[in-house]
Amino acid sequence: MSLNRTELIAKIAEKAELSKADADKAIAGLQDVLIESLQAGEPVKITGLMSIERTERAARKGRNPRTGEEIQIPAGYGVKISAGSTLKKAVASK
């Protein structure tokens, strides 16, 4: 089972004793900060929870799965997310 945005907002509102509207604003704010920081190439580290950074992907050759034709895939960026120590310990203990 996964947690969707609505369920996440409800749980955060309950745990932090906030209204759902305030919890939604907090999630939206976090999303905006993550996007802005990663677009600028700045890593985001939430100690104990996670580290998020932008990674570069080199240009490479690939194949069109429908035709088998070789294609050139342009260079671009990806996102790398690493679990922090607190999160790793919490998951390992269950």
Residues 16-48 have pLDDT tens digits of 999 999 999 999 999 999 999 999 999 999 999
Question: Which stretches of the chain are DSSP H helices?
Answer: 5-16, 20-39, 85-92
* Partners of 54 in the β-ladder: 79
Band of residue 94 on the pLDDT scale cut at 50, 70, 90: low
Query: What residue spans define the domains of the chain?
Result: 1-42, 43-94
Band of residue 1 on the pLDDT scale cut at 50, 70, 90: confident
Q: Which fold has domain 43-94?
A: HU Protein; Chain A (4.10.520)
pTM higher than 0.85 for the full model? no
Do residues 78 and 57 touch, judged by C-beta distance below 8 A?
yes
